[in-house]
Each structure stands twice: as structure tokens, then as C-alpha cells.
Amino acid sequence: MTRTVFTRAAISSIDTQEFYLADKVGTQAASKHFGELEDKIEHRLSDQPESGQLCLQAAELGITQYRELNYNPYRVIYSYDTVHDTTVVHLVLNQAQNVRDWLVHYCLVKDLD
């Protein structure tokens, strides 16, 4: 079974989505929603690590190792390391969010750490 790990950027992107949803449905409901989403992501990627399609927005930037799964309204950006049989979740974005914007954000935040 493939191991799945979430990067700091993935956790940050999930926290951002959860904070936004909490404003609409409350903290407890938002937390439950994203806990269930994380479970779905882990289950899917542990069973079918290569099931995602090429992430086209990343590919436009010349980055072709990223795959994308869709859990309406979220996009899961991940990569699969076949040597270590590990999927790495890099971002979880709302469908309306742009991968390029988050990559820039991640680079800026990473440089500040």
C-alpha cells in the first residue's frame, strides 16, 4: 500500500480552505469536512497513486511531475515517487484558485522560514 504524506504547503492550503468554510458553516463543521476530505485523499492515493491526471497549470510552467485529483470543489495537487512508493500531497486548492499563485505564495513563505 502506497504511503501518503502532506507537505507543509498542503497543510497550509487546507487550513486556508477550512478557515474560509468555517466562516460559512462554523468551525466544527468545517473541521469535520476537511478531516473527511483528508481521509478520502489518503485512501484514494494509497490504493491508486497514479490515478490523477497531469496538472495542466503546473505543466504550463514546465513542471510535469505533478498530478491532480478533483474532489469537487477541491483540487489535490500531488506527486508520486515510484521508487519509495510514496505520494506527496503538495496543495489542496479550491477549483477557482490558481496553481501558479499558490506556487509563488509557497516560494515566498518557504524563503521566510
CA distances (Å), origin 83, targets 2, 32, 87: 11, 33, 11
pLDDT, position 109: 57
Residues whose CB is less than 8 angstroms from the CB of residue 68 and which lie 6 or more positions away in sequence, other chains included: 52, 53, 54, 55, 56, 75, 76, 77, 78
CATH superfamily of 3-112: RelE-like (3.30.2310.20)
Q: Specify whether the CB–CB gap between 69 and 44 falls below 8 A.
A: yes
Cell matching residue 51: 490515478
Per-residue model confidence as pLDDT tens digits over 22-81: 999 999 999 999 999 999 999 999 999 999 999 988 888 888 999 999 998 999 999 999
Q: Where are the domains of the chain?
A: 3-112
**CA pair distance 75, 78, nearest whole angstrom:** 10
